[in-house]
Amino acid sequence: METPKADPKLGEQIKDLEKRLREAMRAIHGDRLLQRRSEPTTPSLLDRVSPQLSTTCPITETAKHNYEIAANEVEKLLEDLRAMIEQDLRKLGEELEAAGAPWTPGRGVPRWKKT
């Protein structure tokens, strides 16, 4: 918004990254909007592993099954997050820098150009 030379597609890329991040948070924490409305939701990753963390009872077969599901989902989630951070976000930062966008946290040290 503060960079007139920037390609409008950069805004679309930002919105896409935000959407992907919200989806990752939903996978971790669950759909809080549906939960607040007492609607049924798919168990989140935390829902699957948290109950076993605070118990002193032996691990149940259900807990083992939930752990397997969570472990498989975390593996894919981490791959997606890694790609988003190491590739997509880095590329976006470079494009924003090239367009002269104001510095934002997480984009590294800004480059100074004496005018």
Q: Would 107 be classed as within a structural domain?
A: no
User: Is 114 part of a structural domain of the chain?
Assistant: no
Q: What is the mean pLDDT of residues 38-49?
A: 91
Residue 88 belongs to a domain: yes
pLDDT band at 1 (very low <50, low <70, confident <90, very high): low
What does the pLDDT look like over 103-112, one tens digit per residue? Answer: 778 777 777 7
Query: Structurally, how many domains does the chain consist of?
Result: 1
Q: What is the mean pLDDT of residues 92-114?
A: 80
Greater confidence (10 vs 18) lies with: 18
For 107, half-sphere exposure in the C-beta direction (CA atoms, 13 angstrom radius) is 16
pLDDT at 84: 94
- What is the span of the domain harbouring residue 46? 9-98
Residue 103 lies in a domain: no
pLDDT, residue 7, reads 83
Buried b (16+ CB within 10 A) or exposed e, 49-64: beeeeeeeeeeeeebe
